[in-house]
Amino acid sequence: MTRLFRCCLVLLWGTAGMLALVGNAAAQGSFPNRTVTIVVPYAAGGGTDLVARTLALALQKHWGQTVVVDNLAGADGIIGTQKVLRAPADGYTILLQLNTMLLWKLTDTNSRDLVGDLRFISLIQTAPLSFAVSSKFPGNTMQDFVATCKAASKPCSWGTATKYAQLIGKHLMDAAGLPDVINVNYKGGGPMLNDLLGGQITMAVPSVASGQRFVQSGQMKMLAVGSAERFPLVPTVPTLAESGLKVYGDSWYGLMLAKDVPQPVFATIVEGIKAVSKDKALVASIENNGGTPVFSTPEQFNEYARKEKTYLNTLLAKYPLTE
């Protein structure tokens, strides 16, 4: 190999390397330059699905790139979360999760600390849990539900779509003196509410956001909410505390990424969420579906989740969860 040929090869390799670095930097700096996916690890038709699809439209408008929603239910949200963590850490696969994720490590449902593998972007909304029955149920209050279940010839049943709702529900049934009611776990809020309306279960524990449209259509009624005070979007529904049951439960939806996503991409996504937080259609959609828009900084989201995890750990010590 001649000296001139070797010099040309070195020059070509060096040029190729520089072009690759420039190309990578350009790709990162121009994020997003292709389709972004928001993974919802719960069944279609629930509150998370509605929020994700409205959010996707707002981000698509802001970024000028297609944003799609991928529903992947199973294992209380773990399966969809694992998909996000297995995808390339490039920011093109985003997770919309619930506060039920804070129970994963506590209940030993996985050997890997999935929460620790995620980087929090922003809270999107909060909404209290509701305790709802079909419109065909003869009573209208939590006291009516308790009395009906105590007098029933066979045990009443109540449905949950997350371990968080199951934990708060166990606390409620204990406080109400209903040890024999049967809990039925679902992969998502949609199937749970379908069974409630179809008479397969007596009560469901969805967020207000998930159940509001069924109340508006006259198919369902909320007996109580889990917030400390009455929720403005359903002001006629009493709290559990007002119903004589000192039990509290709020749900939130938040966006997350794999923790190894490059900082410039992470910053672009944070900026995008901040921008769409002012989108009137997105805010209206969240409010109309029973939620309160709560867009936050990553730091605020982390602190909020840390405090809640401590509280849930205390409850879990008293009310162990089942699969």
| CA angle centred on 64, ends 81 and 68, rounded to 5° | 30
Position with higher pLDDT, 98 vs 12: 98
| DSSP code string of 180-249 | TPEEEE-SSHHHHHHHHHTTS-SEE--BHHHHHHHHHTTSEEEEEE-SSS--TTSTTSPBTTTTT-----
Among 101, 103, 98, 48, smallest CA distance to 70 is for 48
**164/76 Cα distance (integer angstroms):** 9
pLDDT of 29 over the 60 cut: no
pLDDT of residue 105: 61
Read off the tokens for 294.
Answer: 């709560």
For the ranges 7-11, 63-67, 142-146, 226-230, the lowest mean pLDDT is seen at 7-11
Q: What is the mean pLDDT of residues 302-319?
A: 92
- Each residue's pLDDT tens digit, 232-263: 889 999 999 999 999 999 989 999 999 999 99
Among 97-101, 144-148, 187-191, 303-307, name the most confident range.
Answer: 144-148
- The whole-number average pLDDT for the span 96-121 is 77
Range with the lowest mean pLDDT among 104-108, 112-116, 177-181?
104-108
For 130-225, CATH number out of 3.40.190.10, 3.40.640.10, 3.90.850.10, 2.160.10.10 equals 3.40.190.10
In our burial notation (b when 16+ CB lie closer than 10 A, e otherwise), range 28-44 reads beebbeeebbbbbbbbb
Which pLDDT belongs to residue 240?
97
Chain centre to alpha carbon of residue 161: 11
- In tens, the pLDDT along 184-228 reads 999 888 899 999 999 999 999 998 988 888 999 999 999 999 999
Span(s) in the chain for CATH 3.40.190.150: 33-127+251-318
Q: Express each pLDDT in 43-60 by its tens digit.
A: 887 778 888 999 999 999
Backbone angles phi, psi at 93, to 5 degrees: -125, 110
Neighbours of 245 (CB within 10 A): 22
Which pair of structure tokens corresponds to residue 255? 């966006």
3-state secondary structure of 128: strand
What's the whole-number average pLDDT of the chain?
88
CA 198 to chain centre: 25
d(CA 190, CA 254): 19
pLDDT of residue 106: 44
Give the CATH superfamily of 33-127+251-318. Bordetella uptake gene, domain 1 (3.40.190.150)
Query: Which ranges in the chain are annotated with CATH 3.40.190.10?
Result: 130-225
How far is C-alpha 178 from the chain's CA centre?
Answer: 28
pLDDT in tens, 289-308: 788 999 999 999 999 999 99
- pTM of the predicted model as reported, rounded to 2 decimal places: 0.78
Higher-confidence residue: 114 or 40?
40
Strand order in the sheet with 182-185: 182-185, 157-160, 203-204, 130-134, 220-225
